[in-house]
Each structure stands twice: as structure tokens, then as C-alpha cells.
Structure 1
């Protein structure tokens, strides 16, 4: 593979070299007058259980007061682990795995469930299209990520049986003036330039975040260009009233997106079974057409009002708008043929998504008493309107592919005319979601160390699906339905001591039976209500060694009922009688034995299975009861060591293990377990200037990030990056 440097990467390399060189004599003299600075990462200042639980409650509870498994990954943790985007941040969440294949770039599996049963929020807001819309975003603009294990529809609406992930971006705050500039370089000519700036003007605070990244990624011919801009303005309106206006713009374009690497086929014919097999010479080869494209443009607008009514009560209002346009032009399927001597390219898709979301959320919180006991409550009203129009145009040719190419040197081809499609977008379908919800939460101290935490949410979701093409019996011109799910959580927390808590909780969630509400239509919903998910969880949270360490443990059981399956008596229909379960254990710990050393780790085991599930095989329904869902590993583990060797040098080592996973519901095609190592170093060149070095996948392990029975999506090989940070 040839490494070529883009113009931005070349400019960044010169900037990096210039900044790393010794400073001039007069600059040295000025710097010598500055006091020495010891720079440490978040692992050197261990996160405690007294931290706010954030997305898991609107009551301002700490992690130890919350009857749920909650992971909070702050900015320092993000940088310490070298996470370049919002998905890579998730490697520190127990039991969670992720991938970003272009067709479903928000692919995440958590507690035995996939993206369709997870809620992936952006600043606490769901666009109800998470498997697609939750595409990884460069981590520069991210302040923290929070993860809640298990059903949590009671917080933000439908779509959270397996859990909730919330990406929280940087915004103007009262932390003081700050400035930061970064230049980064990576192999394959990758480059980054980023700026963070916050300034106070009288009582106002202005903040600006800029990030630009570009360069070829690890697969042949693949290139990515992206930029993000985030601006926010914090303005006091009165003594106890403040308003923040935030705007964010994201752009990403990937040329010739990588869709996967074809598996070797049995030479004797027949179906593929057994462990996935690849030709090593094809790893890194991209079979997509040269002008293949994925492009996304997103705009977020938020108006945030905070009003302190009195010392016990606070009112918050969030008004938001989301505007997204996503475009795809790709040939997406590649299969070995003719004794594995050629690769057939097929399945062309020309697609556009045009999505708009408007919303308003009111939240009133109050700290008071109930029957003489401390009791905190939150009440709210949540309204949103979500409209998405799709413009699909495809040519699905399996038995007669577009062409047959050399597996090691695929012939160059262009989307037009190779795909057989003509340029232009014709609307195919449009979904409109009107949602109105009432929610309430409460925490009441019962005495004797017990506290009861409860939450309830009622949603009214109206769906109007329009078929903008020729109407048929299975796809009428108009389909309307309404859902009214009631979801909640009830938890009991017991203080065994000031540092040790145990808890028990039950929670529920609601999901579409198949697909996503933003795209689901008549066939998926005509005779269906939302599926029901419920969880029982027991857990414990402990601080030890004088607060220098913390540990959490949880066991859970989740069941999701009424999922769509093939009707065993009529293979042309689907019925809502399927069921999926998950039984698991999660352990996590962090310990800072000294001011210079920190250790952390997590371990999870998941026993996920279909209790009742039928899928068609050669036109006939086949039961998959007892089988494990695809892409769900049995074991996931991770560990990290961070050492501040000296004031000017910090070192980090992290390890990740993902167990064996199946590629299909039949469980006859799988990939083995894999391990990844990461290595980082931070050099403090002077009090304001630091150099960060990072190597991911140190052992160059071949692994499959997302399994498929047709086209597995491989993870990145060994990669190296360097970034120069200047704080001013």
C-alpha cells in the first residue's frame, strides 16, 4: 500500500516539525519565568463515584446514588485513550462493541442487543434513526460520553432496550478563559488541524470549536474529508436566568467507501459455514467503484434556558433543530467466484436521506421533602416533530453481477455507467413522527440507608408513512398509526457505608418490532405495537483505598418480546411473537495507587439468545430458538495502565479483548476472538506545548469489526499518529 500525503498533511507536517524544534533564545527566556507545570491525565486523577450521573437521571444524582450501570468518559479520558472519534471512546464501556460500516455507521452492540434496540443520543436528543445517523464524529468537539446499561426509554423515548449512549459536545461554560491549538499527523497521510477557544466578555461567555481532518484511511483508494464547527454563547438574562445559544455544523465526505472484504468460498460449492476465511492478499483492497461516495452534512441548533426559581427549584428549557442530508453512491457487494479466482461486484445503491427534526423540552426539578424525608423530583414535557424522506434507487443483481474483477487488482470503474443507474434523486417514501411525552422522576430517602428512585414516562407517537411511488397492497400510498408506550424504572439503593452501596432495579423500554420508526412502513408495523423490553438488575458500587479506587459490579437479565419473525404457517408474512433474552455480568474498576500511576479495567460476560425466532431459509421458515444473535460476543474485556514517569513524560498502555461472535442467526458462521493493544506517550515540551504519540493495534491483528454472512467489515490494522498541542 502506498502512503501519499495530502496538501493539508504536508502543511501539518511542516507545522509539526517547526513547533517541535527548539524555540528561539528570547522565547526560552520568557518561558523560564513561567512556573513548572505537571500535566496528568484523567487516569492519574481517578473518576469517583460521587461524580454526577448525567444522562441516567434528571435529578442530578451521583453515580453511587443511581440504581443502574453508568459509565462516564470525560475529556481527559478521551485523550488519554487516543480516541479519534465518538465510537472509539466507547472502548472503555464494559461489554460494548462497535463498528462503522458505511450503510449502518452507528453499529453498536450492548448487553446482547444491536443498534435498533439502543438509543444513541446527541446532547440528550434522539433523532430516531440512530443506526444510520449516529455516525462517528471526530472527538475534538466532544466533552464527554455517557453510557447507561439496559432499558432506559423512560428517559428519552422509544428505542433503548439494550441501553443508552449520549454524546455531549463542548459548550460555553463558567470554567474560565482557555485556548488550545492542535496539529496532528497520521500514517497514510492523515492530518488534523483544530482550535478550541473560550473567552469571557463581561458576564457573557463565547466559545468556538473548529476541527478539520482529512487523508486516506487504511483501505486502498479510500479518502475522508471532514470538518466540524461549534459555536456557543452563554448570556445571563437576569440574576437567576441564563441562556445559551449553540450552533454546530458537521461535514463529512468519504470517497470510495470500504464496504467489506469478501470471504473465500468453499471450492466444492455449497453454503459457507465455519470460521470466516480470507485471502491475506485481499486485506486492504477496496472493490467499490472509484467514485463511490458517502457524504453527510448536519446542522444542530439549540437554545438552552436555565432559570433558578429559588434555592430548591429550577426550570430548564431546550429548543432544538436538526437538519441532515446524507448521500450514498456505491456498489456495495463483492463475492468470490470461479474457484476464488475472481470477485463479482453487484448491488448498486443511489440513495439520499433528507431528515429534519424540531423539538422542545421543558424540565422542572425540585428538592423538597415527603413525609419528613428528603425527596427530589423532576417533571417534564417533551415534544418533537421528525420528518425524513428517502430517495432510494438501486440495482440488485446477485446471480448476474456487474462485472468480474481480479481479486488483487480490481479494474477501475465509475458508478455511472457501471451501476446501470442514472444521476438524479426521486423520492421514494417519507415518514413523519409527531411525539408528545410526559415524564417524571423522584428520589426519596426512606431511612436506614435506603433510598427509592423511580421514573415514569408516557409517550404518544403518531406515525404517518407516505409511499411517494406506485402504491401496492404491501406498500399503500398512506399508512398512519399511533403508539402509546408507558415505560419506567424503579430502583432501591442501600448504603452499606459511606463508600459502599448495593442496588436493585427493574426498568422497561419500547422499540419498533423491526426497523426504525424514522423509516418503518406498512409491512413492518401494520399489525404491530411497539415491542416490550424489561430488565432486572442487581449491582454494587464501592470506593476503596481512601477514595483512590472505585469498583462496580452488576448482574442483569433482559427480555424483549413481540419482535417481528417470519410466520411459520405463511412465509410471506411476519408476526409479532418473537422473543430475545440476555443474561449478563459486568465488572469495572479503577485504582490510583500513587499520584503517578493509575490502573483501570472492565470485564463482561453476556449470554444472549433467541427464545422465539423464525427466519426464512430457501423459502421455508426455520426456527432459531436457542441461538445467539449475530455480532454479540460472549466475553468483552479491557484494561489500561497510565504512568506519569516524570513531570515531562506520561506513558499509557491499553488492551482490549472481544470474544467469539457469530455472523448469522444459524450460528454456523463465526469469527474467533481477538485482542488489540494500544500504546501512547505524552511529552511536555514546555508548560504550554505538548507532543502526543499514539499507536493503535500495536500487534497489527487482523480482526472483523462487524460480522456479516455475506461481507464482513474488517477493523483497521496498526496505525500511528502524532499530535502537537499548544495551550494559550
Structure 2
């Protein structure tokens, strides 16, 4: 009952605040200090105002999403659930990292496990069953290639829910998340933005960006640089981190019908990672158990004495550096035809050198630790060419896209796993990594794809939407011993030829109400990660499909937007990774649920937005090896998948000499499990944030508190490490200033 009391307390706080601030008249949002030094009071104005295009209070239904369709149609016209988190909203809510930005989307939960940084759970699927894209391009499995980044360099994040293989190939059964970078736009003057922020645990965040014309109306630029650092990640001792991110681009309008864009991006991150807090027996000497965080079948719990301790070695490292250049061409020879091409080259180096697993040993009363070392040297070269045609067909409106895509990916991966030591749970962890004798692994993946997409207007109000994609994937895996000899037993080559498709209907029942339905298919990775599959895991791709029905609408003179969706997904021939080096074909997984989202502006001064998800995800006909026996997991819930999630935001513009905003956010995540056996339960939690934002002239000052009630909760668990869980951040405070010149 505790979790329900927490929900009720949060709702009561929100209602009291809403009643207190929501009874004021409708006020205009401007006012301020004139150059003469005299004060000008805000002007009272009553008017019908459409919902704003950004920040709390908008679902962006009339905006175009390139992530969910290449047809150039609005989100309302796409027969799927699509969500946008734009830069305005990121700044308003103080979303500093891409993990924070995504976790507020409908039905998404986030886990920043260092082995899989920036990974998510959506519609019952996690990690590599979701596609993470950067400017619409794929780098590889999310589990291996995703990295923590600052949100400053992003224009927006687009979330497509449900199978996206028809757009992005193998993978993407649960959906796709596209991080869209700030790029040049045609503006007649230079705009410069700046940010400075300080907060708890010596957190420092600073950023600068500028964009505009270069000498003429034909050449424009955009460049952004961000930096973020802190002494402790999520309040955990000895876990400092640093993020750098540079994005830059030039846009050249060679003619009214031809534009060229060249971009160059660099990112770097480095940290001493926190891999989780070990579970300790309740009877451990002097135990100071924290109740309500986890529940286990064997009585293990979280000991308060080690709650914020990092058990990694002293010379631990997780770091990465990437370079990425892209060249885009957009040519419209006639008004009905548009040709788009994007060529790119990407290079990355990633490093892990850690003690990753922490398991309490009842015999010695110590924590046993391992050693794991891995490096990535990866490059990708690729090109995507597509043509869009907008010609009437049989006197009906019609949009059609056809394209080809090519990419060549190479990954060198020296790795080492072994050794270890044992340490006192209550002593400050020490010990270095030790010697390394690594063995190299090489993966080469060459992909060629053909895709088509179409929207055909059966009538003015009824549209048929479809898509088809065929991929040819050539995988070459070579494994070597520490001495450099080829391991021919584990090495292998394999071709995959998945064909995926989707078909849907969109019906405008009213000018402000759209109904839709869709069936879509997906091809899923070999094992959990196509980068590290071995000959013993030489299986066909897993497959899956989803059907979804829903509605999207507006009301109250466009002051309110809402969406509702029901979905049912299955995934069969699942290969799950049972150890660090092996996978098994274990059965089938299903997921179905309801997602609701809404945004409303009751007055010009008051904005509300929220979402709610109910989800049922289960393993079906699922068995896996458990030591020397085979255990059935049928009916169990997959790890890190909650059954209930909800978010609520409220922002109110207080009329004053200098108007300011009061904001609050509430997030509820239901209980989840840490493992396939459902033996470790992460209990439900709710967090409360609040902020005050004061705009003055060309600057905005913001004071923000996160997790104000200082709730202790488990945010994620890595199934590979079932003896530990990741603890969420405690209460923190941040002071931020942004400016535009």
C-alpha cells in the first residue's frame, strides 16, 4: 500500500498547487523592464490561443516526423505512436542528458548501466530490441554503441513505438529513438545561445551555440559545444564523469531547388562507472537494511551502509571518443519530385576496464569481484539515396518514396575476462585492475537494402499507408586467441536476408479526430548482439510483429491534444544471452498494453501534460539453462519492464512585475524484475521535481530541485549481474542560467 499512498500524496500536492495557482485570470506572458528603467505591468488579454509548439503543453501532432516516416507527413497522419521531445521542452524541464530526456516519454523507462549506457525499456522490450539512431542513422546494437550525451546539441528527440524494421532494418522490434542534432537553418541574422549551470555533487554544465548566415543568404552555419562534469554519478561515491560534445555544420543553398549540408561532430565521455550496489543478506552483521527498495526470494536486501558506495577498482575506466562527418544533398528538380542523399563516415574508440560484478560470499562474508576489459575500434562508411514522388494516382492523392541504403561496418574488439578479488563490504573499496592478456575479435557487417513507402488517399478522409524493406546482411566474425591464432571453431560467416513490411489505415473521423490501425513486422538480432555472436549461436534472425490501433485528437480550439493506443506484439525464436559468451534459442515473448498521453492549456498562463501506460509483457514457452538444469520462465515478466508508468507536468506563469514560471513534475514507475527468473524485484517508486524559472530580458534563471522527497529506489538492473542493482539519484539542486543574443 505504500506505493499507492505515495501516488495519492503526489496527486494531492499537484491538485492543491493547481487550485492555488489556477484560479487567476488569463494573463499575457510578456512584461518586463523598459530601457528607461520604468516598470511596465503585464497586459491582461483574453483570447483564443492555439497550443504552443514546444515545451509542456504540446504533443506536436501537426508537425512532420522524419523518424517515423520518410513521406514528409505529420504525426497525425502516421498510423503509429510517435512522440517528440524538443529543445524547448528539454530546457524547460531541465533535461540534461539524453537519458533524462527520453525517460519522460510515454511508456519508457531508462537504465544507465555502464555495460549498456543510455538504454531503455519500451513496450516490453529493452536494449537491442530498440533502435537508437543519430540523425536517422544506425551505428550498431544499442547495447554496444550508445553513449551518454548532453542534450544541448540536440534539436529534438523523436520516439517511434513498435516495430521499425521497415525503416531501419534488422532490430527495432520495440521501437526506434532518433536523436536529431541542431543544424543550420535559413535565418537572416546570427543567433547565439549560452548556458551555465551548477548543482549538487559539484555538477557543472556549460554550453555555447551559434548559428546564422556567413556572408550571404546562400551559406549558413551552426556550431554547438557542450561540457558536463560531476564528482559523483547519481550521488555514488568515487564515480566522477565528464562529457564533451561538439556539433557543427554548413548549409549551402546552391539554388532554390538544391541544398548541400556538410557536418562534423565530435563527442567524448569518460567516467569511473558505478555498476550497481550489491545485495546483502538481511542477517549480515550489524545490518542496516533499507526497506522498500528491493524484494528477493532469499532475503537479500540493500544495506544502508553501502548504499552510495562504488565497488569498482580504483583505476576503473569507461570512456569513448567518436568522430562523425556527413554530407547531405537535397535536390527538387520539379515540384513533385525530391531526391535526397546522405553519405557518412563514423569512427569510434570505446574502452571499459572495470570490476563489474559484486557478489556477497556467505562463506567469507566478503564481496567477490571480477575483472573485465574490452576495447572497441569501430568505423562505418555508408550512403542512403531516396526519391520522393508526390503525383496523383487515379485522381487520388499519393506520396511515394523509394530508396537504397548501403553501409560497411568494421569492429575490432580486444577483450579480457577473468581474475578478480574479494573485499570487505564495509571498507572503502580499493585494489587495481591488474594485468591484462586480451584476445581480439573482429566483426565486419556489410548491409545493402531496398525500401519503399507509400501513402495513398482512398478518399479525402481515409488514407492507406504501407512500406516494405529488404536487407541483405553479410556478417563475418573472426575470433583470435591471446597469442593471435585464429579460433576457427568459434569464427563463422553468415548472410541474412530479412524482408519486413507494414500496412495501416488513417481515418479522419472529424477534422480534429483521427483514428488509425497498423500491422507491422520486424527482424530481430542474432542473440542479444549481432556484434559478438559466435558460431555456436549461428541461428536465423528472430522475428516479430505488432498490430496497433489508436486515436489522435485535438479539442477546445486546439488548446488540448491527446493520443490513445492499444498494441499487441510478439517475438519468437528468441535467442537470449545466458552467459557472457553463449546464447540460447529459448522461446517466445509477448507484450500488449494501453498508452495514453495528453497536453492541455487551460489558460494562457497554465500548461499541463501527462501520460499513463499499462503494460503486460510475458515470456511464453520460454526455457533457459540454469546451471546443470533447464528452467522454465514461461509466464515470467522480462527484466526491467514495469506494468504501470505515469508522468505528470504542470507549469504556471505567475503574473508579476517580472513574470516567472512555477513548475512541477511527478514520475511513477511500477515494480520490475532484475532477472528472467523474477527472483529479484525492484519495487515501485515515485519522484517529485519542482522548479522556478525567471525570464528577464534575453536571459532566463532557473532553480530546480529533483527527487525532492529524497526517495531511495532501484532504477535498473543488468540481468548479467543479478547480485546487484543500480540505485537512482538522491535529492539534488541545480541553478541554471540561459541566454540568447
Contact residue 265 and residue 272 of structure 1 kept, 8 A: no
Q: 1:468 to 1:44 in 2, by over 3 A?
A: closer
Q: Does 1:668 align with 2:679?
A: yes
The answer to whether the Cα contact below 8 Å between 1:275 and 1:671 also exists between their aligned partners in 2 is no
Q: 2:375 aligns to what?
A: 352
1:44, 1:595 within 8 Å by CA — same for their partners in 2? no
Identify the match of residue 235 of structure 1 among 252, 276, 281. 252
Q: Rate the CA distance shift 1:445–1:71 in 2: closer, same or farther, 3 A.
A: same
Deviations along 1:476-509, whole A, 9 cap, x unmatched?
3641100000011100011101110111100011
Q: Where does residue 79 of structure 2 map in the other structure? A: 67
Q: Say which of 415, 418, 421 aligns to 1:392.
A: 415
Q: How far apart, CA to CA, are the structure 1 residues paired with 2:57 and 2:423? A: 56
Say if 1:611 and 1:332 are closer, same or farther in 2 by CA, change over 3 A: same
Partner Cα distance (2:36, 2:344) in 1: 45
**Partner residue of 1:157?**
169
Please tell me whether the aligned partners of residues 609 and 626 of structure 1 are also in contact (alpha carbons under 8 angstroms). Answer: yes
**Distance in 2, Cα, partners of 1:301 & 1:265:** 51
Q: Summarize the Cα distance change of 1:566–1:70 in structure 2 as closer, same or farther, 3 Å threshold.
A: closer
Which residue is equivalent to 1:51? 63
Alignment of 1:465-614 (within 5 A): 465-469=477-481, 476=489, 478-524=491-537, 526=538, 528-564=539-575, 576=585, 578-614=587-623
Aligned to 1:712: 725
> Does the Cα contact within 8 Å between 2:512 and 2:554 map onto a contact in 1?
yes
| Structure 1 Cα separation of the partners of residues 318 and 486 of structure 2 | 33
Q: 1:117 aligns with which of 129, 144, 150?
A: 129
How do 1:452-463 and structure 2 match up within 5 A? 452-463=464-475
- 2:347 is the counterpart of 1:323: yes
Out of 221, 238, 263, which is 1:206 matched to?
Answer: 221
TM-aligned CA deviation for residue 63 of structure 1? 1.2
Instruction: Quote the residue 1:404 is aligned against.
Output: 423
Cα displacement string for residues 350-375 of structure 1 (whole angstroms, at most 9, x for unaligned residues): 21111111110001111111111000
1:87 partner SS: helix
Hey, what's the Cα distance between the residues in 2 that align with 1:383 and 1:37?
Answer: 57
Q: Distance in 1 between matches of 2:80 and 2:535?
A: 36
Tell me, in whole angstroms, the C-alpha distance in 2 between the residues paired with 1:311 and 1:383.
27
> Does 2:271 align with 1:262?
no
Q: How many residue pairs get matched?
A: 679
Is residue 479–residue 487 contact of structure 2 (8 Å, CA) maintained in 1?
no
1:371 is paired with a residue whose SS is coil
The DSSP-based 3-state class of the residue aligned with 2:281 is: coil
The separation in 2 between residues aligned to 1:194 and 1:679, in whole angstroms, is 23
Q: Can you list the C-alpha shifts for 1:573-625, whole angstroms capped at 9, x where unaligned?
A: 96646110001110000001111111111011110011121111231111111
Alpha-carbon distance in 2 for matches of 1:31, 1:220: 51
CA distance in 2 between counterparts of 1:31 and 1:521 reads 74
Cα pair 1:386 1:518 within 8 Å, conserved: no
CA contact (8 A) 1:288 1:331 kept: yes
Query: What is the 5 A alignment of 1:327-342?
Result: 327-338=351-362, 342=365
Give TM-score, length-normalised by structure 1. Answer: 0.89
Give the secondary-structure state (helix, strand or coil) at the position aligned to 2:472: strand
**Cα displacement (A) at 1:41:** 8.9
State the 1:695 CA deviation.
1.3
* Cα distance between partner residues in 1 of 2:399 and 2:693: 43
Listed as ranges, the matches of 1:187-206 within 5 Å are 187-201=200-214, 202=216, 203-206=218-221
Are 2:222 and 2:249, in contact at CA under 8 Å, matched by a contact in 1? yes
Q: What secondary structure does 1:59 align onto?
A: coil
**1:638–1:516 CA distance, 2 compared to 1 (3 A):** same
Alpha-carbon distance change, 276 to 86 in structure 1, aligned in 2, over 3 angstroms:
farther
CA distance in 1, matches of 2:246, 2:460: 51
Counterparts of 1:306-321 in structure 2 under 5 Å? Answer: 306-321=330-345
Counterpart mapping for 1:696-707 below 5 A: 696-707=706-717
Query: Are the aligned partners of 2:349 and 2:376 in contact in 1 as well (CA < 8 Å)?
Result: yes
What is the aligned-residue RMSD (CA, Å)? 2.5
Select 1:224's aligned residue among 241, 265, 289. 241
TM (norm. structure 2) is 0.87
Q: Which runs of structure 2 are paired with 1:357-372 in the superposition (5 Å)?
A: 357-372=380-395
Q: Do residues 299 (structure 1) and 323 (structure 2) align?
A: yes
State the alpha-carbon separation in 2 of the partners of residues 272 and 652 from structure 1.
37
Q: Which runs of 5+ in 1 are unaligned?
A: 1-27
Match of 1:682 in 2: 693
> Does the aligned pair in 2 maintain the 1:504–1:536 contact within 8 Å?
yes
Deviation at 1:71, TM superposition (A): 0.4
Conserved in 2, the CA contact under 8 Å of 1:654 and 1:679?
Answer: yes
Q: How big is the shift at 1:274?
A: 5.9
Give the conservation status (yes or no) of the 8 Å contact 1:566–1:615.
Answer: no
Within the candidate set 355, 370, 373, 2:396 is matched to 373
Q: Is the 8 A contact 1:258 1:286 kept in 2?
A: yes
Measure how far apart 1:215 and its partner are.
Answer: 2.3
Corresponding position of 2:288: none
Whole-Å separation in 1 of the counterparts to 2:453 and 2:115? 37
